[in-house]
Structures are given as structure tokens and as C-alpha cells.
Structure 1
Amino acid sequence: MSVGHEGKTTNKSFCEKIDIQFTHIFLPTVYVLVCIIGVFANVFGLKSMFKRWRTLGDIKFFILNLGIADLLYVSTLPFLISYYAADSTWQFGTVFCKITRFCFNLNLYGSIGFLTCICVYRYLGIVYPMKIKGIVNTRLSVTISALVWTLVVMQILPDMFFEKSAPNSSQCFDTTGNDLIKDYLPYSIGWTVTGFLIPLLVIIVCYGHVAYVLMTKANINTLLKQRSLKLIIFLTVLFSVCFLPYHLLRNLNLSTRILKMRGTCHPVFDDIYIAYQVSRGLACLNSAINPIIYLVGNDEFLMRFHSFSKRTRRSLAQITGVIVYRKPPQHMDSTVNTEAELNIVQ
């Protein structure tokens, strides 16, 4: 079958097969980078967090669970690297195929869930700092963490019952085969609403209010304001780059597969497939990016960074004979006096 060169939709008994060579090059490359960076970044981030465990607020439980989800997913990447590098040949059995895909979804939606918890915690600490004293405690944080895991597992568990390989095939599908795809699309759309859109709306509302409060109130500590704004920017970028394209293109790609099964073909279907593969790579990047949260608002890290910058400038001055001046950050003088205030929202 030949597809119209003018980009028109054609109705045939079958469509041309998509060239999946891009997937076999792009995904292994991304997975290798995420695996290496993800392991070191999460181990370093968790180590940094444990050093400050007693000084952190109850937010530490959400960050800890976020790190566990990342490390769990990163541990499955070597198998996916092997799979795609071998031209989509899965050699580890059907059960482990489902477990590997389960770990990806567990990480993705676990990350979204705990990032949402961190967002709400920051929101309450900034907008209602006095009201949450005595309410938000260790027991509540642990209970919420357990609830997040439960809700995530309930959302992704049905995915385990969909076929992940075709008969007489060595493939390991990230969604499902063509036989059940018509049932999978409604599930995927519902999954997108509960696992992504609702948390996204919560984050938009919370951080929209936080940004308004930070910009309109002059009595908020400078360091606290900087921390919170950094976290807002970070989560906005994370959701825009890692999560939004993946959910949009996953459902779009499933829809095009159904159309192709019905004999409806269009050149743009290939572009959607390629874009979906790129979004899959971007989605897994969150395992390497999440550790930035360990450092956002970390006074010890910021002080070490400023100290390193000073030593670097002095070394350059000695070598080149040029003195580099830098205005000291205004928030450093007020750090000690606002420790109690910062602990509320950490």
C-alpha cells in the first residue's frame, strides 16, 4: 500500500509498517544516560537528605519515597537497554516483562503522586504556617505516603492483565498488543485523568496561590521566597517536559493504532509514533531529575556551592591577576534568624 504524497488519509485493508529503527537507537541511548545519572544522583541526593534528616520537616518522607521509586525503576533499565539494543528482542520471560513495565509506571505515577504531596506540603507551610502546626506530623506523613502507594498500585495494576507480547513473538510491549488495544485506550485515558491531570490541577492551584502570596507579601524571608520559587519553576518544567508530552502522545499513538487496524492510514501517524518514542525517553528522565528536589532549599549545599565559587574565583585571580568581585547574597545574613520559619516548610 502506498500512502498519498499530499498527506491525505487513505482507506486500505492495511497500512505501511512503521520503521521502528529510531526506537532501537534513541531509547537505549536515553536509558543508558538515565541509568548512570539516576543511580549516582539519587544515591547522592538520599545521602544528603539523611545527613539532614533531623533538621528536615515531615516532607522528608515524601522525598524518601520519591527516591525509592526512582531507584526501583533505574534498576530495571539494564533489561530495557538490552531489549531495545537487540531490536526489540526480550529474553527475560513474559512475567519479568510485565514486572519491568510495572516498575516504569510505578515510578512515573509514584513520582507524580509524591511531587504533588511535596507541593501541597509547601503550600500549607507558606500560606497557612500556623494552622498546620501540630496537624502535619510524622504519623500523617507516613499515612499519606502509604496512601499514595496504594492509589498508584490500584491505577497501574490493571495494566498487568493486558498482553505484553504477541503470540510467537519475543517482544515486550509498553502498552499492549493489537488484540486488546480497543480496551486499553479507555483505560489509558482514565489513567491519564486520575494519575496525571488531577495532580496537575492540584499543583497549578497550590503553586498559583503560593506565587501570589510570595509576590504580594513583603515580610516573607528572602531565602524562603527563593527556595519556593525555585521549586515552583522546577515542578513546572518537570511536568511540562517529562509528564505532559508522554500522556498526550501515549493516547494519541494508541488512537492511531486503532485507526490503522480499521484501514485508515495517514503519513502523520509515523510522526506521532516517533514523537511518542521521544516522549517515553523524556518521561524516564524524571528519575534523573527528581534528585534536584533534595538540593532545592538545602542550606548546606548552597553554602558549599558559594564556598566553592569563592575558592574558584580566588584561584582564577591568582592565576590571571584579575580580581573578580561578586555581591554577596542578601539572604545569607538572615539564614540563622529564620531557621524556625524555614523548618516549617522544609
Structure 2
Amino acid sequence: MSVTASMESGLSMGVTAGPARDTGEIHNWTELLYFFNHTMPECHIELSENTKRVALFVLYLAIFVVGLVENLLVICVNWRCSGQVGLLRLYILNMAIADLGMILSLPVWMLEVTLDYTWLWGSFSCRFTHYFYFANMYSSIFFLVCLSIDRYITLTNASPSWQCRQLRVRRAVCAGVWVLSAIIPLPEVVHIQLVESSEPMCLFMAPFETYSIWALIVTLSTTVLGFLLPFFLITVFNVLTACRLRRAGRPESRRLCLLVCSYMAVFVICWLPYQLTLLLLSLHGTHISLHCYLAHLLYFFYDVIDCFSMLHCVVNPILYNFLSPGFRGQLLRAVVHYLPKVQARTGRRASSSSSSTQHSIIITKEGTLPQPPTHPSLNFQAPNTSPIPVPQPLIAS
């Protein structure tokens, strides 16, 4: 699913071909294989490709099933409640759509791995599938950044002008994120081609004399735009949010801070191994020299690490939706809505009786702003200011 994935695909075949020309473009599969194979030092490690393919298929399948169900539920519930007041619901909804887009591309990667990287779906799908995956990957990451920034702004800014403009601003930001995410993958996707050989493969095929430069540019742009910059912004604004919560001095502030820290931890755990492996393999051979066994291990386990990064599509719905009693209450009401009338009345009575203790209740007076919802573990408001809306991921809504 990237430059390094294409290189790993060629290396996994274990083919040694004749030398390619020092100048000019790569014109055939033999020259490309020679370039790939000769970037690796000669050493031998007994690693089972068949075992890796089986493990990858199982991992992809589990992530696909769980992620599909979770993100569809998030989209359905948030879309059904879109007319209600939802502080950061728009970012969460768009992030779930982006995660769902990544999940929908998994069957293709599962089949490609099972078929030993053979591509059977034509030239157009070769490029489009990669483009679709990358565009949704960047969108999901960028919406996490927007969520972190907007959460802090909403916590600290109680001005009426912001409350009047925040919906329009968020819609514009979401549109901008989708446009930016659609542009960023283009430099890589234009060089992805279907290589016709005994077994067709979908590979990154930049001109030979500039291949290493193109690979490094694409890798650095992915690392900077897809990890370093988002991680910096997510960390800064989540730390500021946690500090603001601690200053509130409430008993539940510690638990709120732990929740905010979990947002950063999940992002690092999911993306750091992938980005670090991608960067090391792109630099290897032309800019740095990795130990023989380390290089082989990184190439071998690259697909596994890439698959592991997809776990964020499973964890995000839990962190930003299912941990919220408000979301669980909305999900329950959505389910009850489609039950028979007798069961629906029973469900509504149960939901109504439990809402007084589990779900937040907003009571407003005429001419005043709504008070922040109350929840035993997820509740805060800005001190010394008029009541302001509280970010959805931190409270029940």
C-alpha cells in the first residue's frame, strides 16, 4: 500500500535478474527486480512467507469485520442525530466515514496478500484502490487533528460570536480536509502502475534514474504530513486541554486527563511503527546502511506492521463514541426505534429511567446558554466564564 510495499513485493519473489542500465528509465520487469534485489545485502533468514500470508489474512479479516460494524454504527447514529445539538459531532462523523473508506479497501489487500501480491483487477483499479486508501487515510488523521484543536477552542472560548459561527467554520474545515486529502496522494499514485509479467503486480514505478529520489520524497511527505505534523498538533492541543482540566480542580479531572492522554497514545501506537519502518526502508541502500538481518526483518514484517496501523479504524469508534454514555443512549434509542411497538415502549421506559443516572440531562432557562451535561466521569466546563458547550468526545451528549 506504499512505495515500500511495492519494493517488498518484488523482494518477496526472491528473483535475481540482470543489471539495469545506469541511465534512462526502467523498461522491463527484469531491470526493476535487479534494482530491488541489489538494495539488499546477502544474508539468509528462515522466514515463512506462507505463515505470514495466513496471519495477514486473519488480521485483515478481523479488522474488516469489527471496523465495518463499528464505523457503520457510528455513522448511522451520528447521521440520525445530526439535527440535534452535537458539539464536535461533525468531525466524528467525517472521521468515521474516512475510517470506513479504509476498511472497505481491506478485501483487496487481503486477496493481494493471499495471491502472493498478484494483481488481478486491471490497471485502473490498481491506481484507484491505492488512491482511495491514501485519501481516506489522510482524512482520518486530519480529522483527529481538527478534533483535538476544536476541542480545546470550544473549552476555552465562550464568546457568543464563536458559538454562532462554529458550525459554519467546522463545515468549511471538513470540506478543506477532504480536498487536501484528495491532493496529497497524487505524487505517489501517478507512479503506481500495473506491471505485466508472468504474474501481474501493482507497483510504484518511478523513472529508474530518479527512483530513489522519488521514493524518498514520497516517504518523507507521508512521514511529515501523515505523522509528525499531526502528532505535534494532537499532542500540543491535548496537553493544553489536559492542563485546563487539571486547573478546574474537580475530582474527575484526573480521569478526564487519562482519557485525553489515551487519544495521543493510540495515535502513536498505531502509526509510529509503520512510519518508522517506512522511513528506514526508504533510506536503506542509498542514504543509510541497515544491518543485514534487520533489513530482512523489516522487509518481511512490513506488511504486518502496515496491517497493525489499521487498528486505529477499530479503536477510534470506541474512544470517540462507544465510551460516551450519550452515544450509547442514542444507539439504544436508534435500535429501539426499529423494534415492534410493544418492545419499543418497554425500551423507552427503560431508557428514560436510566437516563437520570447514566445519561446527561441539559436543563436551560429562557435566554441562557445550556449548562454543560453532567456525567460521573466525563464532565467539565471552563472556569470563570459563562457556561460553554463541552466537547463531545469528553462528555456524554
**Scaled by the length of structure 1, what TM-score is found?**
0.76
Could you say if the C-alpha distance between residues 241 and 201 of structure 1 is closer, same or farther in structure 2, counting changes exceeding 3 Å? same
Q: Structure 1: which amino acid aligns with 2:317?
A: P
Secondary structure of the residue that 2:192 maps to in structure 1?
A: coil
CA contact (8 A) 2:206 2:214 kept: no
When structure 1 is superposed on structure 2, of 206-215 and 333-342 the one drifting more is: 333-342
**Scaled by the length of structure 2, what TM-score is found?**
0.67
Correspondence 1:171 to 2:201? yes
Identity of aligned residues (%): 22
Correspondence 1:206 to 2:237? yes
Cα shift readout 1:125-145 (whole Å, capped 9, x = no counterpart): 223334773354222111101
Cα shift readout 1:286-313 (whole Å, capped 9, x = no counterpart): 22222222234342527999xxxxxxxx
Other-structure match for 2:281: 253
CA contact (8 A) 1:91 1:170 kept: yes
Distance (Å, rounded) in 2 between the aligned partners of 1:332 and 1:37: 26
CA contact (8 A) 1:242 1:284 kept: yes
When structure 1 is superposed on structure 2, of 232-241 and 296-305 the one drifting more is: 296-305
Correspondence 1:236 to 2:260? no
Could you say if the C-alpha distance between residues 65 and 51 of structure 1 is closer, same or farther in structure 2, counting changes exceeding 3 Å? same
More helix by share: 1
Other-structure match for 1:295: 322
When structure 1 is superposed on structure 2, of 208-217 and 159-168 the one drifting more is: 159-168
Superposed displacement of residue 259, structure 1? 7.1
Superposed displacement of residue 186, structure 1? 2.2
Superposed displacement of residue 176, structure 1? 5.4
Other-structure match for 1:32: 61
* Matched positions, count: 308
Distance (Å, rounded) in 2 between the aligned partners of 1:184 and 1:108: 19
Could you say if the C-alpha distance between residues 280 and 153 of structure 1 is closer, same or farther in structure 2, counting changes exceeding 3 Å? same
Q: Structure 1: which amino acid aligns with 2:200?
A: S
Q: Structure 2: which amino acid aligns with 1:266?
A: C
Q: Aligned-pair RMSD on alpha carbons?
A: 3.5
Cα shift readout 1:27-47 (whole Å, capped 9, x = no counterpart): 222211111111111111222
CA contact (8 A) 1:125 1:132 kept: no
Correspondence 1:83 to 2:112? yes
Q: Structure 2: which amino acid aligns with 1:170?
A: P
Cα shift readout 1:63-113 (whole Å, capped 9, x = no counterpart): 121122122222222122111111211100122122222222122211110
Superposed displacement of residue 158, structure 1? 1.0
Aligned 1:100-249 pairs, distance under 5 A: 100-130=129-159, 133-134=162-163, 136-168=165-197, 169-173=199-203, 179=208, 180-218=211-249, 222=252, 225=253, 228-229=256-257, 231-249=259-277
Unaligned runs of 5+ in 2: 1-37, 333-353, 365-369, 374-388, 393-397
Q: Structure 2: which amino acid aligns with 1:204?
A: T
When structure 1 is superposed on structure 2, of 132-141 and 153-162 the one drifting more is: 132-141
Secondary structure of the residue that 2:185 maps to in structure 1?
A: helix
Aligned 1:12-27 pairs, distance under 5 A: 15=42, 21=49, 23-27=52-56
When structure 1 is superposed on structure 2, of 239-248 and 55-64 the one drifting more is: 55-64
Query: Highest relative contact order (Cα 8 Å, sep 6+), 1 or 2?
Result: 1
Superposed displacement of residue 199, structure 1? 1.4
Q: Structure 1: which amino acid aligns with 2:313?
A: S
When structure 1 is superposed on structure 2, of 186-195 and 240-249 the one drifting more is: 186-195
When structure 1 is superposed on structure 2, of 19-28 and 120-129 the one drifting more is: 19-28
CA contact (8 A) 1:97 1:164 kept: yes
Distance (Å, rounded) in 2 between the aligned partners of 1:37 and 1:25: 19
Other-structure match for 1:95: 124
